[in-house]
A and B are shown apart, each in its own frame.
Chain A
Amino acid sequence: MLELTRFEKTMISARKFPVWRRMETKAKRVYLAMALRTFGAAFEAVTASSKECENELSQWEEGRRFALGVEPSGPYITLEKKGRKIRMIGTGLKEPVLSIVFKNLDSAMMVYTTYMGVVQATAENRAVIRGDNGKAMEVIRVLEIIMTYLLPGFILRKNFRTAPTLSAPQYLVMLRIYVSLVPSLVKTFF
């Protein structure tokens, strides 16, 4: 007989208790809130250093405000295009013209634990786009570039249909991004 894994069985049994279920929901929310803040910081760091992002953002109108998050009650972050880079406005929905929100915590967890790529998740309708579809695709393209610079190769090969390969100058950019990510993270979290 096909069987569930031991981990799956344990999780199913634990969810019998309402306290566990509430704790699990809370834990997912806390993790996603942190992951989204990290992404917010990554948006700032990568768009400031990457040539590809600069090209993408040159097409965007100034002040485009968009949000990323999870239905039904968050967490969310709101970001905005300012000059040649993207700036994180803060957590929550701050009047975005466009939002890309996951339908549930589990779908968001799959993406923010790098189990699945954001392009695949949106293709599978795991996220809802509210606003202009074309603009949403532009945001997703930037998100892909950010993933390329942030994540190690073995994850990229798993998550991308055609995994991007970085050139030597791009690795230098990557290094610069990691260094500049530290102050961005400090600013975002504290």
Chain B
Amino acid sequence: MQLPNFYEHYCPAKIIAGQRSLSNLPFEMGRFGTKRALVVIEEDIYKTGFINLLEQAFTDSELNIGQVFSRKNTRVTLGGAREIADLFRRSDCDCLIALGGGEAMDAVKSAAILIGANSGELPSEERFSMTLPKIFAVPAAYAPGYPVTNLVELFDEGKKKSRYFFSDDLIARLVVLDPRLTLKTSASNRVAYAMDALARSVEAIMEPEVNPIVLIYARAAIGLVVKNLESALEEGKRERQADQALANASLYAGIAFSHASRGLIAATAQGLNCITGMQTGIASSILLPHGFEMFSEKYGSQIGEAAGAFTSKRLSATESGVAAVRASLEALQGVSPLPKRLHEAGIIESELERVAEAVRETPFYCESFFNSQDVAVLLEKAF
């Protein structure tokens, strides 16, 4: 690639991945000068007993868990975030741990903003400047990029709308990927997360202001997904390595995408999620081939550079450049058990207009990169 005249890339997250990595969390927390953590966990993850693994890691160390907050798997609201912030103050904690998927992470980020604000009120500006408590993430789903983005979505019940906030302090300082925690992910969810990671990586590469670091992470994510998706799908087969590879791919895709955090597929998937409740991973999987076709002409040379990551003996995509990517995407879609069209996923045509409107409200929408006409075309093609 051509080196840009100027670029900056910030990702302070330390990644600890692999066997027994959860046991390292207290030691690393200590290095950040924190001693007492408030753990926010999703209810269904709590039921799996994974919290016991975290508690054992703390029992082995000299640090401790101040309080565990188990929350329902619902959208993060201002009221919910206040509850966590109050508990944080009452239990005298000095850092937050998110154990679970994207919602646990959003809950922790939202609470961190309220703790930082001290007043219990959200800042009036989307981009604010204040010191927040340290955040540590232990994804128990692949959670594409949530721990490593400087963004949080929060539903304000008073204003009856979603609000988005940005701050570099919202990026987790530590991300722990322990293979034991992602094993219970179902096959369909695994594909959804992997396709989401793929979509984010492709969009990160197609970004006009792409930099070499983004390219490195995106290529790594694509390579891992292409190589491991099939193995991770085999029901009953204990392919832990493939599972862990996809978890890592999701994280890398998040790091690549968080550089600019904008993209047609990401914004449209988010819009579909807001209006229809469709999982963003499934939406990304459906939208990716169509979105890629729309932009491949414009950003063909950039995609060509990442084509090497797509080629895999398993999928026998031997063509080069854009054609190789197209062939790989088709092959991946072929093995994926997810729906291929929006109508197959239960979306009705009359909803598309509302979705298109919602896309404009998402933080991934960028008028200078694509417009509402592009969104409408993408939705129509994917329907």
Q: Do the two chains bind? A: yes
List chain A positions with a Cβ less than 8 A from chain B: 1-4, 8, 12-13, 15-16, 18, 21-22, 24-25, 28, 71-73, 103-107, 110, 124, 126
Give B243-257 as 1s and 0s: 1 = Cβ < 8 Å from A's Cβ atoms: 100000000000000
Q: Does residue B240 face the partner (Cβ distance < 8 Å to A)? A: yes
Provide the bound-state CA to CA distance between A72 and B30, in Å.
10
- Given contact pairs A1-B187, A3-B238, A105-B60, enumerate 16 new A-B contacts (beta carbons under 8 Å): A1-B186, A2-B237, A4-B184, A15-B49, A15-B52, A15-B55, A16-B49, A24-B56, A25-B60, A73-B62, A103-B27, A104-B26, A104-B60, A106-B23, A106-B57, A107-B20
Provide the bound-state CA to CA distance between A103 and B60, in Å.
11
Q: Does residue B183 face the partner (Cβ distance < 8 Å to A)? A: yes
Distance in Å: Cβ of A128 to nearest Cβ of chain B = 8
| CB under 8 Å from chain A, chain B span 36-61 | 48-50, 52-53, 55-57, 59-61
Name the residue in B60, B180, B240, B243 with the highest tally of chain A Cβ atoms < 10 Å from its Cβ: B60
Q: Does residue B312 face the partner (Cβ distance < 8 Å to A)? A: no
| CB under 8 Å from chain A, chain B span 145-187 | 180, 183-187
List chain B positions with a Cβ less than 8 A from chain A: 18-20, 23-24, 26-27, 30, 48-50, 52-53, 55-57, 59-62, 180, 183-187, 232, 235-240, 243
Provide the bound-state CA to CA distance between A17 and B199, in Å.
42
Q: Which 5 A-B pairs have the closest CB atoms?
A: A15-B52, A106-B23, A21-B59, A103-B27, A12-B49
Given A12-B50, A104-B23, A104-B60, A2-B184 contact (CB < 8 Å): yes
Name the residue in A2, A8, A24, A126 with the highest tally of chain B Cβ atoms < 10 Å from its Cβ: A2
CB closest chain-B residue, reference A104: B23
B18→A124 contact, CB < 8 A: yes
B235→A72 contact, CB < 8 A: no
B243→A2 contact, CB < 8 A: yes
Distance in Å: Cβ of B47 to nearest Cβ of chain A = 11
With a CB–CB cut-off of 8 A, which chain A residues contact B27?
71-72, 103-104
Provide the bound-state CA to CA distance between A104 and B183, in Å.
23
Distance in Å: Cβ of A20 to nearest Cβ of chain B = 9
CB closest chain-B residue, reference A106: B23
Provide the bound-state CA to CA distance between A12 and B180, in Å.
10
A/B interface sample: 24 pairs, CB < 8 A: A1-B184, A1-B185, A1-B186, A1-B236, A2-B232, A2-B238, A3-B184, A13-B49, A15-B49, A16-B49, A21-B56, A22-B59, A25-B59, A25-B60, A72-B27, A103-B23, A103-B27, A104-B23, A104-B24, A104-B26, A105-B60, A106-B20, A107-B24, A124-B18
